[in-house]
Chains A and B, each alone.
Chain A
């Protein structure tokens, strides 16, 4: 009989305590969910992972941060140039395009992937004939890497490729539109490919969250006469709070780090109209081998990400 079983048993067969809500219990017994005294072994448990991350992520990041104040081509000595890189960034038209595109991307990719994923999860939640097949079909794109996805979608989007062919077959004549060569449609075209892949993943996360929702609450509300949208807004959605936090973190991280799919499809073209900060940074740092300037762009990406995540998360974790 393991300690876990003993513990589980004592918690469910105890006195009427179990009928009090967790919050009430905590208020009555004070801050006892965390142990005040921290044994040294626990410090070790925390420090080892923390040191690993500091060594492999923050130390190189600091190096890159230093690099952004220099001019360096990967070999020889890095020549310090002060804030020159940042000043150049300020007037760089490609950088401005990249930032605009990034904001559009975060909103469109992030927002739409969550909306579509949630819609699919809600639609496919109830067990029905064929629902497993639908779920698997929609998740399947995730098994390919982003680079491969980008590669093949580029082929799909060719003027005499399957997408134009299918659109023509259902009656929409696009005139063999060149989706990825037209600066007006290129970013949207990449967005479709990225959403195609990401939606299944978000759907699976929401499916997990929905499974944890209590169906009796929803039934009670239905009996009371609440409409479907009311039930969703007031009963189902609040129970998804935990999953939402995870999904928000995942979505922001994925949106800001999008690189492979854009790079594989357009390399940031046509003439820089689909540049994101990450692709521009790669182009500057590795194609043009101007690592100082590339590092400056990377620092901007990092600050943007920090601003986003920290404000939301500090608020979210404070609310708990």
Chain B
């Protein structure tokens, strides 16, 4: 179909040259017009807009509905609530924060990400909300520390948090004739008892939610090496290839035979199904597990804390904290702070917790706790009595380190005997993260 009469080689050489010139020209052009990545020098915060945008990553049906009705109840400024699924929200977060017209308030967690963005000047200084009669002034000291950046300014408003523990169904334990254990030895005996009855003693969803494997890792590290070591490990001050971590992995290895093998294919939510229908015994997970239960069974849920392994180590629990931060480039700073005060107020915290059907705890001490379920009250007591609180692997370290943990731990769950090589590879990958 090609009518070309000229020798093909001449044509192609010429066209290649011309094509190359065109390509080069376009590159030069784009270079000149400037693909500068740095945002333009930001002007001082000012109130040029009279509306607010709240960018939310809470796409679960009930929390979304709860936040929706809370936002509708806020009348001071017209506020738009946008919800974007969490993974995409995370991917777009840099774009949101560096945009010339960013969302004013965003949902997120306390921890490394917030501090990282604060150090780059992208988050609004909210310290005045934590002093005097600001909305967060009465929040506890650990919460304030969690919400501060490296320079001591507060850049985050926590509005709810939850605890991690070993959850089980009371009626199931009764049926099987067993009791929640109070020591590690009792716990191991319980595992054997349940296995003997043909029940999967532990369930965990490490398939499409591989970060669940870090739950056990975190807790075993907290119980064996203590919270201080754990925090330092996640900050890169200890090696994953160290003897202490090896001790954690050896204990983890003793648990591996007791996990439901199908958990490797499940998400955390699918792994809750065996717990619901009594085919599995216990699940180390956050209190959000109650969202996966049918409404009728939620009252049957109970928990016990991971038993102490070394009595010399002070108690520690994981309590991830959720909340909001505001963009430093917001066009309505007064409005943003006002919205944050509203969201942090006791009435709205309570409304959110009730509306979202979660077992989350409020951060405000003024919320009326008489309406809480016994489960939640027990959770509050657990966190009040514990000596140390950490967040979770990724929130304490970084998302990048979390992916190294996912790889290492899921591989370990498949092949516990390769632990030496796995730890070495983990340290190499972690080193990459620290260096980058």
Answer yes or no: A and B touching, Cβ < 8 Å.
Answer: yes
Of the residues A179, A181, A286, contact of B90 by C-beta under 8 Å: A286
**Interface residue A105 (Cβ < 8 Å from any Cβ of B):** no
**Once the chains bind, are B35 and A74 in contact (CB under 8 Å)?**
no
Stretch of A6-14, A127-135, A155-163, A197-205 lying at the B interface:
A155-163
Give Cα A270 to B266, complex, Å.
Answer: 12
Given A270-B410, A287-B399, A290-B436 in contact, is the A320-B1 Cβ separation under 8 Å? yes
Give Cα A106 to B359, complex, Å.
Answer: 47
Given A289-B94, A318-B12 in contact, is the A66-B407 Cβ separation under 8 Å? no
CB of B268, distance to nearest CB on chain A (Å): 14
**Once the chains bind, are A71 and B436 in contact (CB under 8 Å)?**
yes
**Interface residue A33 (Cβ < 8 Å from any Cβ of B):** yes
- Tell me which residues across on chain B come within 8 A of A154, comparing CB atoms: 208
- Tell me which residues across on chain A come within 8 A of B122, comparing CB atoms: 75
**Interface residue B120 (Cβ < 8 Å from any Cβ of A):** yes
Of the residues B38, B264, B400, contact of A289 by C-beta under 8 Å: B400
**Once the chains bind, are A157 and B265 in contact (CB under 8 Å)?**
yes
Chain B, residue nearest A33 (CB) = B3
Give Cα A67 to B116, complex, Å.
Answer: 20
- Residue among A283, A288, A319 with the highest chain B CB neighbour number at 10 A: A288
Give Cα A182 to B296, complex, Å.
Answer: 36
Given A75-B117, A290-B400, A317-B2 in contact, is the A269-B410 Cβ separation under 8 Å? yes
**Once the chains bind, are A75 and B90 in contact (CB under 8 Å)?**
no
CB of B403, distance to nearest CB on chain A (Å): 6
| Segment 33-85 of B: residues with Cβ below 8 Å from A | 33, 35, 37-38
Given A180-B207, A288-B400 in contact, is the A75-B26 Cβ separation under 8 Å? no
**Once the chains bind, are B265 and A74 in contact (CB under 8 Å)?**
no
**Interface residue B179 (Cβ < 8 Å from any Cβ of A):** no
- Tell me which residues across on chain B come within 8 A of A157, comparing CB atoms: 265
Name 12 A/B residue pairs within 8 A (Cβ), A-sorted: A33-B3, A58-B30, A66-B35, A71-B436, A157-B265, A159-B262, A269-B207, A269-B410, A270-B264, A271-B406, A314-B12, A318-B12
Give Cα A287 to B4, complex, Å.
Answer: 50
**Interface residue A251 (Cβ < 8 Å from any Cβ of B):** no
**Interface residue A244 (Cβ < 8 Å from any Cβ of B):** no
CB of A138, distance to nearest CB on chain B (Å): 28
- Tell me which residues across on chain B come within 8 A of A176, comparing CB atoms: 262
**Once the chains bind, are A289 and B399 in contact (CB under 8 Å)?**
yes
Of the residues B29, B31, B403, contact of A287 by C-beta under 8 Å: B403
**Once the chains bind, are B30 and A283 in contact (CB under 8 Å)?**
no
**Once the chains bind, are B38 and A31 in contact (CB under 8 Å)?**
no
**Once the chains bind, are B90 and A272 in contact (CB under 8 Å)?**
no
**Once the chains bind, are B411 and A271 in contact (CB under 8 Å)?**
yes
Given A71-B436, A181-B265, A320-B2 in contact, is the A62-B27 Cβ separation under 8 Å? yes
Given A88-B432, A287-B403, A320-B2 in contact, is the A63-B30 Cβ separation under 8 Å? yes
Give Cα A270 to B207, complex, Å.
Answer: 8
**Interface residue A16 (Cβ < 8 Å from any Cβ of B):** no
**Once the chains bind, are B30 and A59 in contact (CB under 8 Å)?**
yes
A contact set with B: CB distance below 8 Å: 22, 26, 30-34, 54, 58-59, 62-63, 66-67, 71-78, 88, 93, 154, 157-160, 176, 178-181, 183, 266-267, 269-272, 283, 286-290, 293, 314, 317-320
**Once the chains bind, are B35 and A63 in contact (CB under 8 Å)?**
yes
Of the residues A288, A317, A318, contact of B403 by C-beta under 8 Å: A288
Residue pairs across A and B with CB atoms within 8 Å: the count is 118
**Once the chains bind, are A77 and B38 in contact (CB under 8 Å)?**
yes
List 8 extra interface pairs beyond A77-B38, A78-B37, A179-B265, CB under 8 A. A54-B26, A62-B31, A73-B116, A88-B432, A158-B265, A270-B410, A271-B411, A288-B399
**Once the chains bind, are B98 and A75 in contact (CB under 8 Å)?**
yes
Given A31-B3, A33-B3 in contact, is the A287-B90 Cβ separation under 8 Å? yes
Given A31-B4, A176-B262, A269-B210 in contact, is the A286-B91 Cβ separation under 8 Å? yes
- Tell me which residues across on chain B come within 8 A of A78, comparing CB atoms: 37-38
CB of A30, distance to nearest CB on chain B (Å): 7
Give Cα A178 to B37, complex, Å.
Answer: 44
**Once the chains bind, are B91 and A160 in contact (CB under 8 Å)?**
no
- Residue among B3, B26, B116 with the highest chain A CB neighbour number at 10 A: B3
- Tell me which residues across on chain A come within 8 A of B270, comparing CB atoms: 158
**Once the chains bind, are B8 and A318 in contact (CB under 8 Å)?**
yes
**Interface residue B414 (Cβ < 8 Å from any Cβ of A):** yes
Chain B, residue nearest A160 (CB) = B262
Give Cα A26 to B399, complex, Å.
Answer: 63
**Interface residue B133 (Cβ < 8 Å from any Cβ of A):** no
- Tell me which residues across on chain A come within 8 A of B94, comparing CB atoms: 73-75, 289
Of the residues B30, B207, B264, B436, contact of A62 by C-beta under 8 Å: B30
- Tell me which residues across on chain A come within 8 A of B120, comparing CB atoms: 75-76
Give Cα A94 to B60, complex, Å.
Answer: 33
**Once the chains bind, are B3 and A178 in contact (CB under 8 Å)?**
no
**Interface residue B5 (Cβ < 8 Å from any Cβ of A):** yes
- Tell me which residues across on chain A come within 8 A of B264, comparing CB atoms: 178, 181, 270
- Tell me which residues across on chain B come within 8 A of A75, comparing CB atoms: 94, 97-98, 117, 120, 122
CB of B93, distance to nearest CB on chain A (Å): 8
CB of A187, distance to nearest CB on chain B (Å): 15
- Tell me which residues across on chain A come within 8 A of B131, comparing CB atoms: none
- Residue among A33, A78, A289 with the highest chain B CB neighbour number at 10 A: A289
**Interface residue B386 (Cβ < 8 Å from any Cβ of A):** no
Chain B, residue nearest A77 (CB) = B38
- Tell me which residues across on chain A come within 8 A of B410, comparing CB atoms: 269-271
**Once the chains bind, are B97 and A159 in contact (CB under 8 Å)?**
no
- Tell me which residues across on chain A come within 8 A of B398, comparing CB atoms: 288
Contact with A along B414-436 (1 / 0, CB 8 A): 10000000000100000011001
